[in-house]
Chains A and B, each alone.
Chain A
C-alpha cells in the first residue's frame, strides 16, 4: 500500500529555515507523478505550496516562491521542502501529497506534520 510520511522538526525559530522530508513507500517516485506540499494553519484552510517531479522540475506557489526550495532524492525515494525566513504565519500542518502527471488534483496524502514557528 502506497504511503507518504512527513518528517522534520516540530519547532522552528522565527527567521530560521523550515525543512521537511516526505518518504514514499511501496511506490517509486520516478514513475512520472508529481510530488507536492500543502499546508494548513491551525483552524484554517488549505494552501498549496508547490510540487516537484523526479527530474527536479518544480512548480511553486506564486505567493511563496521567493522563500521555497524543493528537492528530490531518488535513491532514498523521498522529496523535501525548505521554507526560508519563517514567521508565526508559517505555523501549520504540512502535508505531502501525490499528483498524477498532467493532472491537477492530489490523490494520495501523508498524515501531515505540525510545524510551529516560535522563539
Chain B
C-alpha cells in the first residue's frame, strides 16, 4: 500500500482558516475510524494533534479539528497563528499496516 495523498502546500493569513486534505482508499481512510494527524516543526519530532478522525489530545487547542468524508479526511486549522507554520501529516490504519500521508507544508502569510 502506498502513502496517503496530501497537497504539498497550503497557506493562509493570521486569523484565517486552512484545510488540508488526506486521500486514501476504502481499505484505509474510508474503511475505519483510525485517522490521525501530526504536526511537525522543522528539526522537531512529530506531535499528535488529532486521533480517531475528530478527537483532540489534551492540550491541543480547539482551533484544530478533523473530519472525514468517504475516502478523504481533512484537518482544519482555524484562527491561524504564526506557530501553526509547520508540516502536517495524516495517518491511517490499514490491515496490518500504518500509513502516513505525503505531508503538507502550511505557511502563515
Contacts and interface: CB of A to CB of B under 8 A. Distances in A.
- How extensive is the interface on chain B, given as a class? 20 to 34
Contacts of B100: 38, 45-48
Contact of B98 (A48, A95, A110): A48
Interface in B20-36: 34, 36
Contact of A104 (B3, B38, B45, B93): B93
Contacts of A46: 38, 46, 89, 91, 100, 103
A8 B21 CA distance: 36
Contacts of A75: none
B41 interface: no
Contacts of B92: 104
A105 B46 CA distance: 12
Contact of A61 (B3, B38, B51, B97): B97
Contacts of A45: 3, 89, 100-103
Contacts of A62: 1, 96-97
Interface string A100-119: 00011111011110000000
Among the interface residues A48, A104, A110, which one has the most CB atoms of the partner chain B within 10 A?
A: A104
Given A45-B103, A105-B51, A111 B96 contact: no
Contact of A111 (B45, B51, B99): B45
A59 to B, nearest CB: 7
Interface of B: 1, 3, 34, 36, 38, 44-48, 51-52, 57, 89, 91-93, 96-103
Interface of A: 38, 45-48, 59, 61-62, 95, 103-107, 109-112
**Leading 10 A-B pairs by shortest Cβ distance:** A104-B93, A105-B36, A104-B34, A109-B45, A48-B98, A46-B100, A105-B51, A45-B103, A107-B48, A45-B102
21 contacts: A38-B100, A45-B100, A45-B101, A45-B103, A46-B38, A46-B100, A48-B98, A62-B96, A95-B45, A104-B36, A104-B51, A104-B91, A104-B98, A105-B36, A105-B91, A106-B46, A107-B48, A107-B57, A109-B45, A109-B46, A111-B45
